[in-house]
Structure 1
Amino acid sequence: MPTPPARPIRVLLADDETMIRHGVRLILRHAGDIDVVAEAADGRQAVELAAAHRPDVALVDIRMPVCDGLAAIAPLLALDPAPRVVMLTTFGDEDNVLRALREGAAGFLLKDEGPQELIAAVRAAAAGDSVLSPGVTGSVIARMLHGGDRDGCDPALTDERIARLTVREREVLSMLGEGLSNQDIAGRLGIGVGTVKTHVGAILEKTGSASRVQAALLAHRTGLSS
């Protein structure tokens, strides 16, 4: 029997600007494997619609009225099943990006990224990969390294977390710091994607990281990635 087609990636879009939502919806519609199942104008509505429509990925603007994107992260991640939350941001919003990562967001994407970058980000998030917009990543990491993110920065605690990892897990963590996907890591190490996912799960558990993005930041903080 022929293999049935994969189910489209279900996306919730939350942004208070109607034109932004319209543009993103049109871009994702042309992807073929992505379906925007709900749109919200604020964080509270995003949580309600996510509970009703069960999206795989939630694209959430950081700055919204009533309930902003930052406040929506925790209730979104408390849903069962929980969507992968990707924050939509702009240049100069690094402080809020750091807060979002601490709350467990899967990553961040600049609003003015191109169509292909947007589609790739949704696919990466749905696959469990991190979403790190190059235009923001460098600034976020630099701010963290210079004290912008104090959570878990005790050197002794950080060393203890790294010491829990196997040699292979440290290799994988270093590549997470480079922003590589599971597929890219598998290709570089010559192992299966399933094995990479197992390593990533172990890394998150052993380091106490809430997401791949937090693990990537840890890799930079400890010098495993530069």
Structure 2
Amino acid sequence: MTDRPVALITGASRGIGLAVARRLAPTHDLLLGGRDADALSRATDLPNATPWPVELTDDRALADATAALSRLDLLVHSAGLAELGTLVGTTADTWRRTLELNVVAVAELTRLTLPLLRAANGHVVLVNSGAGLRANPGWGAYAASKFALRAYADVLRAEEPGLRVTSIHPGRVDTDMQRGIRAQEAGDYEPDRYLTADSVAKAVLAAVEADEDAHVTEVVLRPRPR
């Protein structure tokens, strides 16, 4: 690590998280968070990148991993899961898995790193979803988690005025996660109709690089018809 600002990105082994890491690499030292240590190792071709393998829903492992940090300027929450289904077909286990990763792990990681973020007058970016603004049939558990994540960001922003807190709400994005979603929907995968992960990463970068007098609180991205 150098004297450059330090960014911790969850879900950094692929998709939006990896795209964000690539956009931040020229200006930040990177901690690449994810549960798959092998996948993270393959992403360390980025300059000044260090794998940060941890199971985010394991409270003890998360506490141990964050205790080793000495500086944090930027925290990007990109990890998440989406399990679709009607409300009547969504089991308690699905609700728990979804909320544990999409909400509880976000809250706990932020809580554990708040002293470092406060010291840096830092920035928290939460990669949310269009489902955090509008809930559709079949998306109950996921949308509920993303509405909760939006509320969490709003409260964090109000309670921690020294921090910048940004919610990013993209529409469908060309990622492995989207492939899984389309498989659950039994629909065709049409990447030309989706945002690229890099488009979302550029929105994150714009929020991070905003002038000191500017606080980008919410960004909504939708694919342009093509």
Q: What band does the TM-score fall into relative to the shorter chain?
A: 0.3 to 0.5
Q: Which has the higher helix share?
A: 1
- How high is the TM-score relative to the length of structure 1? 0.35
